Structure 1
Amino acid sequence: MPAKMPIQRKPLPHLHLLAKAPLAGQAKTRLAPLLGESGAANAHAELVRHCVANACGALPAEQITLWTALDHTHPLFIELHNQYGLALRPQPDGDLGTRVRQALNSTPGPAMLMGSDCPSITSALITTCAQQLARYDVVILPAEDGGYGFVGTQQDYPALFTDIPWGTHTVLKTTQQRIQAMGLQAAYPATIWDVDRPEDWQRWKALALSV
């Protein structure tokens, strides 16, 4: 009998996480009216820990990089590195598009990126996105506010991250127009939400209590 051909498994995509150090007055400042500056920084630290735990629940730590900002040697980042073994790298200068594109292109093969303030992105959803990326050029998790909290790409697509109105409600729409113009195939597995405002934090805490 002829020998069976081995099953060719596609390599897992690398996952990149973006996170600021939880410095009072510089992280999650829009939560300060509810929590105070120190409370907002602590809330940010909680969200980063939750994000990293979900990422490590979906992929091996060697497939994950945490890109740091503000204070690259902050104790939170050292804690997460020691706990999970994931790599730490400083975010480069430039706008969000520049930082996202550089992170995605810093590792070979397909790559994914997510922010650290989207507690609705679960380990299961990250796994789904990784699976979808094996079949699509781009995978995006749209956010309720008109942006997106997660993007995966098969290769470098500069137009997806250049001249995008970051921080506005038209980020997703503009990105989808670019995807269509480039003739790419995209998947949108789920709509997510992030924590920016006091009502978002209250939503997150209510959800955590109900689990």
Structure 2
Amino acid sequence: MPHFRRKRGCKISDNLEKLMPSRRQILSLLAAGPMLAPISAYSTAPAQRLLSPPCADEDDLTPSQTEGPYFTPNSPEKQDFTSDAPGGERITLAGYVLRQDCRPVTKALVELWHCDENGNYDNDGYKLRGHQFSDAEGRWWFNTVVPGLYPGRTRHFHVKVQRPGARILTTQLYFPREPGNVVDSIFHEALVLDVTSGGGGGKFGRFDFVVQ
């Protein structure tokens, strides 16, 4: 079943919604390239931070990357993965799905999967696997844990993003200042998350996807 035929949109918590800027604000920020407050489920304290990556008219598309051997189709629709790995360090991933002209993409599918804190993937079920749909402002978010390391790869998340009716973008997201980045042949600097500390001892990672 094609991803873009799913009808249900994602449900954003009231706390998250309060922290999200309006469409007018985000488009103004994207055009001017200033600082933006974070969108974190673990902290309500605003912290100034740069957009990552910045968006301008005719901005570069987000680079695609290999799907890898551990993708499982038909993941459930969910945004909170934390119960799948209760011993992991929490992180909120969030951002926008945008067109090259900075218009937000509504109901874009965003699918996430990754290993647990010990570097293990759940290949029999759907732990640390799920998808959602961007809201009317193009916003998406997941609560999950920081993935562990396994031989041959630096720390990373796997993601698929699809604008309704368009081609699927398959890519990966990376952590800044990871020692493994320099030796991982797949690593791409344009796919590095903007990571800061969140409330409750967790982290916050921001990334905006630019799609066709």
TM-score with structure 2 length normalisation? 0.25
Structure (1/2) with the larger strand percentage: 2
Structure (1/2) with the larger helix percentage: 1
TM-score with structure 1 length normalisation? 0.25
